[in-house]
């Protein structure tokens, strides 16, 4: 399961600079208010005005001199893109507001953090690395299947693990009519009736790991994301947030920033992971 449940976004646009103008939905996304899709919905709901005129369509290009108001509040000029690592504990939902009143990731973030949105999602019981950003376009770029970044998980399962069946997942399983992409799954160690696996995938369909393991007669009883592309959980304490240095961000997102890509390097040092007999990397 990649608990990255955000819906797939369209392909990334070529870089647009504020001086050249940008679409209003993209401008709202860059401000970290919401996704482009949500921004378009807000516009059709009459929540956005530009230069005193309430918009009814997202088909508008705005420039730096335009005055944008959302829900009666002026929109601040966008800050440079920033990215944080967050060690999500189990028991939090990855949403700004929960209709069931459950605690959210955003309820627990430090008050000094600016407005941020998550890169994809982790479900209620999943732990580990969740990336946060102040820029909706960064989030959108990192969620694109075409970006191709691997998500790596430590998975504890209950049941008898058959290594040959795990290896077959590399061909991309089909479960209940849903086709999943290739999944790398390896047995690390067994502990009585439980076992620890390392699972790597690149797509991120809803509850993907859990569903795939169920198809192998295995029950997931702990799920920890330890890496998202080059960014790794490492020794980051549970509930802690740490900003990724801008130099590292620009190196790893070179295509997003319009620069020549540099070779990806792990942003972590070796550190043990719960239940593992080997080390994982830390940013």
> 242, 84 in Cβ contact below 8 A?
yes
The burial of 225, by beta-carbon neighbours within 10 Å (0-12 exposed, 13-18 middle, 19 or more buried), is given as: buried
Active site residue 38: no
d(CA 138, CA 120): 11
Nearest of 21, 52, 24 to residue 38 by alpha carbon: 24
The burial of 132, by beta-carbon neighbours within 10 Å (0-12 exposed, 13-18 middle, 19 or more buried), is given as: buried
The residues with which 243 forms a beta bridge, in sequence order, are 84
Q: The tokens 């319009």 sit on which residue?
A: 258
| Helical spans, DSSP H, in 124-236 | 136-143, 163-168, 208-215
Phi/psi of residue 186, each to 5°? -135, 140
Kindly name the residue from 38, 98, 123, 188 that is annotated as catalytic: 123
Tell me which DSSP letter residue 29 carries. H
d(CA 247, CA 146): 23
**Which tokens in the block code for residue 206?**
């809803």
d(CA 56, CA 53): 9
Contacts 24+ apart (CB under 8 A), 183-190: 183/208, 183/212, 187/161, 187/163, 188/276, 188/277, 188/278, 189/275, 189/276, 189/277, 190/161
Catalytic amino acids? Answer: 123
């Amino acid at each position: 399961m990649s608990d990255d449940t955000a819906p797939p976004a369209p392909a990334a646009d070529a870089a647009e600079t504020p001086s050249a103008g940008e679409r209003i939905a993209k401008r709202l996304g860059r401000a970290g208010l919401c996704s482009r899709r949500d921004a378009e919905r807000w516009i059709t709901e009459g929540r956005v005005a530009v230069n005193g005129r309430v918009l009814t369509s997202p088909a508008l290009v705005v420039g730096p001199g335009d005055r944008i108001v959302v829900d009666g509040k002026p929109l601040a000029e966008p800050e440079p893109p920033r990215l944080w690592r967050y060690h999500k504990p189990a028991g939090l939902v990855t949403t700004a507001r929960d209709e069931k009143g459950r605690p959210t990731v955003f309820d627990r973030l430090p008050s000094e953090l600016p407005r941020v949105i998550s890169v994809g999602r982790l479900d209620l019981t999943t732990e580990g690395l969740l990336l946060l950003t102040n820029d909706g376009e960064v989030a959108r770029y990192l969620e694109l299947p075409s970006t191709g970044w691997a998500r790596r998980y430590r998975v504890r399962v209950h049941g008898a693990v058959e290594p040959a069946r795990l290896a077959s997942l590399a061909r991309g399983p089909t479960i209940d009519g849903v086709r999943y992409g290739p999944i790398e799954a390896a047995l690390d160690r067994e502990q009585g009736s439980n076992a620890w696996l390392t699972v790597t995938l690149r797509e991120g369909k809803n509850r993907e790991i859990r569903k795939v393991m169920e198809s192998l007669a295995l029950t997931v009883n702990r799920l920890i994301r330890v890496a998202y592309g080059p960014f790794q959980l490492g020794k980051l304490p549970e509930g802690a947030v740490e900003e990724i240095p801008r130099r590292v961000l620009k190196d790893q997102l070179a295509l997003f920033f319009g620069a020549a890509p540099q070779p990806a390097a792990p942003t972590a040092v070796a550190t043990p992971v719960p239940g593992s007999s080997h080390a994982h990397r830390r940013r």
